[in-house]
């Protein structure tokens, strides 16, 4: 037999394992040909590993307690966010160049409060029920939003009409196999166009909560974790969807949280129970977005000037590198 040198019984569920199983140094569990025995040996080996690990932990904890104050600080566990490859386009809050750029880019009129956002939401051709309902719910979440059916119209023809009617933003929800799976967000008077891949869309009735519908109050906006230059511009795009002055009476908040290049959208109602505690209740639809491309002008897939495209081969090589 392959395991002639070890001191364990040969049969499957034999007597319980001894405290310290002695394996000869050249022995490997995977060399046993018999599956049952191999499985048993592997379990035994696993248990032993676990025991050793536990013993190590206990020892370390004892040492730590013994040292008391002089103990070295606890090691910080490595997370992907910790190990993230430093992106050179990370925005420094005090950067003047960025501030200057932002004062003169397409969103400046919004941030200077010269324009009030007016959104047009539409879909791709022949939307199915889920998409239609999602559009309606999105329209309740975003104030001053109108849903229009797309009856085979070309976007390039819609856009001048929208500009003529004073719309500031255009949202097109692309549908595939009866679920929405893409989002094109275009800032209208000649603004940038962002194309996202949308996933895990949950309509209001699928969210486990017992709240009411979102009211007409203007919600607050939270934008989390948009650190790089690209993330900054996307964040501003999202912020430009909502009117500038939130109505705090409404106690509603729309959150765009960026984590590892995925943007999670949530819509909550909050209530302050005390100065250290706040309760939130989720209303409204939720979805996640992943940026696919950012284009300089309005939607023009052929001749547009692309600021950023997600190139899988080049950009997905490292697990610790994120672009937003």
Partner 1 sequence: SSQVVWSMLGNRQFCSYKMTTKTQNFCRNEYNLTGLCNRSSCPLANSQYATVREEKGRCYLYMKTIERAAFPRRLWERVLLSKNYEKALEEIDENLIYWPRFIRHKCKQRFTKITQYLIRIRKLTLKRQRKLVPLRRKIERRENRREEKALIAAQLDNAIEKELLERLKQDTYGDIYNFPIHAFDKALQQQDAESESESDAEREEEDDDEDVDKREFVEAEDSELSDFEDMDKLETSSEEEQEEEEEVEKKASHSKSKGKTPLKGPARRKRPYIEIEYEEETEPGTKTKAA
Q: Which positions lie near partner 1, rule CB under 8 A?
A: 79-81, 125, 152, 154, 197, 199-200, 220, 222, 224, 248-251, 253, 255, 257, 259-262, 264, 266, 268, 270-276, 278, 280, 288, 290, 312
Q: How far is the CB of 170 from partner 1 (least distance, A)?
A: 16
Q: How far is the CB of 226 from partner 1 (least distance, A)?
A: 13
Query: Which lies closer to partner 1 via its Cβ, residue 187 or residue 269?
Result: 269
Q: How far is the CB of 201 from partner 1 (least distance, A)?
A: 12
Phi, psi of 153 (to 5 degrees): -85, 150
Query: Which lies closer to partner 1 via its Cβ, residue 53 or residue 319?
Result: 319
Which tokens belong to 296? 């300089």
β-bridge pairing 119-123 and 145-147: parallel
Is the Cα torsion angle 244, 109, 196, 292 positive or negative in sign? negative
- The answer to whether 180 and 133 are in contact (CB under 8 A) is no
Q: How far is the CB of 26 from partner 1 (least distance, A)?
A: 38
Length of the chain, in residues: 324
Query: Which lies closer to partner 1 via its Cβ, residue 13 or residue 317?
Result: 317
Q: How far is the CB of 202 from partner 1 (least distance, A)?
A: 12
- The answer to whether 171 and 120 are in contact (CB under 8 A) is yes
Q: How far is the CB of 120 from partner 1 (least distance, A)?
A: 18
3-state secondary structure of 25: coil
Query: Which lies closer to partner 1 via its Cβ, residue 32 or residue 230?
Result: 230
Within 8 A by CB and 6+ apart from 308, the residues are 230, 291, 293, 294, 323
β-bridge pairing 252-259 and 220-224: parallel
Give the CA diameter of the chain. Answer: 87
Q: How far is the CB of 228 from partner 1 (least distance, A)?
A: 16
Query: Which lies closer to partner 1 via its Cβ, residue 33 or residue 312?
Result: 312
Query: Which lies closer to partner 1 via its Cβ, residue 23 or residue 264?
Result: 264
Query: Which lies closer to partner 1 via its Cβ, residue 70 or residue 273?
Result: 273
How many angstroms separate the Cα of 55 from the Cα of each of 48, 49, 52, 68? 11, 10, 5, 20
């Amino acid at each position: 037999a392959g395991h002639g040198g070890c001191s364990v019984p040969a049969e499957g569920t034999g007597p319980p394992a001894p405290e310290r199983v002695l394996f000869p140094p050249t022995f490997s569990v995977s060399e046993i040909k018999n599956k049952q025995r191999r499985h048993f040996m592997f379990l035994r080996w696993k248990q032993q590993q676990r025991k050793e690990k536990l013993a190590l932990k206990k020892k370390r904890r004892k040492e730590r307690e013994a040292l008391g104050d002089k103990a070295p600080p606890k090691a910080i566990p490595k997370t992907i966010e910790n190990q993230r490859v430093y992106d050179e386009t990370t925005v420094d809050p005090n950067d003047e160049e960025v501030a200057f750029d932002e004062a003169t880019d397409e969103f400046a009129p919004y941030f200077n409060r010269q324009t009030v956002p007016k959104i047009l939401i539409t879909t791709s051709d022949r939307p199915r029920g889920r998409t239609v309902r999602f559009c309606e719910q999105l329209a309740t979440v975003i104030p001053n939003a109108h849903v229009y059916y797309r009856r085979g119209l070309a976007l390039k023809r819609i856009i001048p009409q929208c500009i003529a009617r004073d719309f500031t933003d255009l949202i097109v929800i692309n549908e595939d196999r009866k679920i929405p799976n893409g989002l094109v967000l275009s800032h209208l008077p000649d603004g940038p166009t962002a194309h996202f891949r949308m996933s895990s869309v949950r309509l209001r009735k699928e969210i486990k909560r017992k709240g009411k519908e979102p009211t007409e109050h203007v919600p607050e906006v939270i934008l989390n974790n948009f650190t790089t230059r690209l993330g900054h511009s996307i964040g501003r795009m999202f912020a430009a969807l909502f009117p500038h002055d939130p109505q705090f009476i409404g106690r509603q908040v729309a959150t765009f949280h960026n984590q590892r290049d995925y943007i999670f959208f949530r819509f909550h109602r909050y209530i302050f129970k005390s100065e250290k505690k706040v309760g939130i209740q989720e209303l409204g639809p939720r979805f996640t977005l992943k940026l696919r491309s950012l284009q300089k002008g309005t939607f023009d897939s052929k001749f547009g000037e692309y600021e950023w495209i997600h190139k899988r081969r080049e950009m997905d090589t490292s697990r610790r590198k994120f672009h937003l």
